[in-house]
Every structure is written in structure tokens, then in C-alpha cells.
Amino acid sequence: MTTKDTKSTKVPHTLPLRIFVPFVVKIKLRFPVKHNALINWTTFLSRHTLIPMKRDYSAIHPELRLFARFTPKVTYNRHNVWLFHRILGAARVSIPPRDLRIHNAWVPRRGDQTSLRLRIYQPDALAAPSGTMLWLHGGGYVMGTPEQDDKRCAEFVRELGMVVVSVDYRLAPEDPFPAALEDSYTALTWMASQAQQLGIDSARIAVAGASAGGGLAAALAQLAHDRKDIQPAFQLLIFPMLDDRTVLRGDGVNCANVIWNQKSNRFGWESYLGKACGNEKVPEYGAPARREDLSGLPPAWIGVGTLDLFHDESLAYAQRLQEAGVACEFYPVQGAFHGFDIFNAGLPVVRGFRESQISALSQLSSSSTAVSRLSPHTSK
């Protein structure tokens, strides 16, 4: 794959505003705050959440260096996570697309009287029951909403002609493990029960997600395998958050620390698992990488940047899947940091990453879901 030289990569001067403006808009809409209050919040963020990054960007992919340089470096914690949850919630598609339908559905949760919100993306027409995807958003298990992935889910619908269902699962620390996983399982079983109404084939459901959503998708595949009510046909894990033991590595794990750093990672895992985080034993399904027997799980695609905090755990999980006889394609992106694909979908390095996902999922359009063994893909 060819790459552009750093000097020729055009990055808007307003890059940081692309991240923080939605938050400002959201605050203005929901809270009658004054301009000075916004300045005070900006000062608070700069003093308490922004952290410096080493000035050497040479290891970062040339197409991503300026994005890394101008992206605010944030450490998430219990004091600021609610702010960034609002930022992510404001990232929905502003104008509904004409070529597909986006709507919400509420389904009863298992074991209580509350409802779970699902965000459904459907093409205008389905010629026949199609493969489909259950999508789980990222956010370190502590923040995020389905709306933050409106554009990504719409792209899957357009490229594959399939229905996508995104889950508004409960978040830690207010609702720690297993709340998010049980919500995900509720959504999976609902999709199977509503297959005819949705126009999908319940035998061809992929579970997918990014970051913490990728970790949830992996755990959901394990849980569904063991409960045997419904078996997902495929798992798409995008820079997945799989292993709580990564928090024990004090060397920074050779990651770029652009979007998600070691302190944020510890906060996310401790919020989700509580005191069990990093211990010898964690609850079953709490950290997917802890599972000993991976045999019988669905075929998988796993993609991650080589400078991502989750690179090593993603590679190890891919290798273990293969050793267990599970078909798995591993797609590492040289010099890419966590969440690198959110900045500019037109960059060749991002296009290649997403095209590989589309290619893997396209197999759901037929009855066969086999994928290649661990592949030595390298995006340069």
C-alpha cells in the first residue's frame, strides 16, 4: 500500500475543534451556561485531563502523524468521564441519510423491568434475508453511545446491504460487569427472535465492535457459545479491549498514547471489573483473553495498530484462536495508534483497514463464513 509523505498530508487547522465542538454544542443545548463557564470548563480540561506526549512522532504512520500531534492528549477518570460521554453522544449523524433508515427500538431486559435501547440501521430494501451485524460501540466500558458510530454503521449497511443493530448497553462504574454483556446478549437473542420482521437470516449474525465494544463482542461470542441459544456466525474485533492484565504493564506497552493511555485503561478496567481487575482470577467472560479454551468459537477478523495499547493482547488472542482451530484473519496497521480510523476516512491507511473489514464481512452474504488463517497482513 502506498503512503503519503507527512508534509503532503493536509490536516485542517481546526482538528481539535472537531473533537470538542460537539461537546460545546451539547452543553449549550442542554444547559443554560454562559460563555465564561465554557472557558472555565476548558481551563479545567487543560489542567486536569490533558497530558503531554513525547515529541518524537517518527514511529507513527506518516499519514497519521499530524493527527497525533494536534489531538488533545486526555486521561479519562471518574471526574471527567461524564463530559466525554456527552461528547460522544453528540456525534450522531446530523442529517438522516436518504438511502437507509435509522430508528430506535426498546426491548425488555432479562430479569428486570427496564428496557434496552437498540439503534437499527436498515437499507431501503432487502431482496432476501441477509446476513446481519450486532454492533457494540467503544468507550472503555465507561462511556459512549450508539450514535457515535452512526457513520460507521451506515457505511456497513451501504457496503454490505445488511441490517446493523447497535446496542446502547449499560456503562460502568454505575453498572459494572456483567451488565453490558447481558445487554449485548439480550440484543443478540432479540435479533434472532425478530429475524423475519428485520429481514435477516438468524444463522448469519456477526458480533462486532471497536475498542471496549470489540472486547464485548469477543465476550459475547464466548457467552453465546456456552449458552447455546444462538451461535454468532462471525466476530469482527476492531482494536479490541480484551485483557485486563495489560494494566499491570508499567512500561506503557510501547504505545503512542494518543487517544487511550495506560492510566485511562486502568480506569476503564477497574470501573468494569472492580477489585478483580488484574487479579489472578476474574469473573468468567469479564476479560475475554482470560478464557482458556477458545475452540468452537466463530471465525474472526482482528485489526489493530502496532502502536495501539491493545496490539499485543489482540495479536495473542488471534494466535490463540488459530491454535484452537478457529479461522482468524489478523490485520496489523504499522505505526497506527488506538482509534486512528476516526479522523479521516479518505486516508489510504484508513481505507485499507476498513476495506479489509468489509471483505471479511462480505462472506456473510453466502452460507459460508470461513475466513483465512492468521494472515500476515501489514499496512504500511
Residues catalogued as catalytic: 211, 308, 338
Give the whole-angstrom CA distance, residue 13 versus residue 29: 26
Q: Is there a contact between 331 and 303 (Cβ–Cβ < 8 Å)?
A: yes
Residue 345 CB coordination number (10 Å): 13
The answer to whether the peptide bond before residue 72 is cis (omega within 30 degrees of 0) is: no
Task: Please give the Cα distance from 269 to 286 (Å, whole number).
Answer: 10
Cell of residue 114, nine digits:
427496564
Q: What residues have CB less than 8 Å from 219, skipping those under 6 apart?
A: 181, 184, 285, 286, 288
CA distance 220 to 17: 35
Cα(118)–Cα(107) distance, rounded to whole angstroms? 8
Cell digits for 52?
A: 503531554
The order of strands in the sheet holding 328-333 is 100-108, 115-123, 163-167, 130-136, 200-210, 234-238, 300-305, 328-333
For residue 203, give Cα distances in angstroms to 13, 333, 367. 47, 31, 9
Separation between Cα atoms, residue 288 and residue 321, nearest integer Å? 12
